[in-house]
Amino acid sequence: MDRVALRGLKARGHHGVFPREREEGQTFIVDLVLGLDTRPAAAADDLTKTVHYGIVAEEVVEVVQGEPVDLIETLAERIAQRCLKHDGVEEVEVVVHKPDAPITVPFDDVTVTITRSRV
């Protein structure tokens, strides 16, 4: 299976369990790896035979900016399900970064990584 990756998609969302996270929001960063067969697109040099990663990026931002959830696990699942709606995408790996998580000790990042497939 071939891979198309989008890294560092940034959007502001209001996800989290604490009132401040819901009220003020914060930046979330999303990395995606889409699994699909790119041979038909390459052979025909035809965008319609592959996934349009620009559209996928816009949809992911819509999910992050959309309805708030408590957990980034839930956010990752919603993103994965949105990606799998694209024809040809058989598998997706989603990494949701929450670099401004409310943690009381120094840290660089918090991430959740999930992999989902059509099967």
One-letter identity of residue 94: V
DSSP assignment, residue 29?
E
Query: Which is nearest to 32 in space by CA: 117, 118, 113, 119?
Result: 113
39 close to 85: Cβ distance less than 8 angstroms: no
Determine the angle formed by the axes of helices 53-65 and 72-84, rounding to 10 degrees.
150
Catalytic residues: 98
- What would the two tokens of residue 45 be? 């040099």
The candidate with the shortest Cα–Cα distance to 8, out of 30, 25, 24, is 30
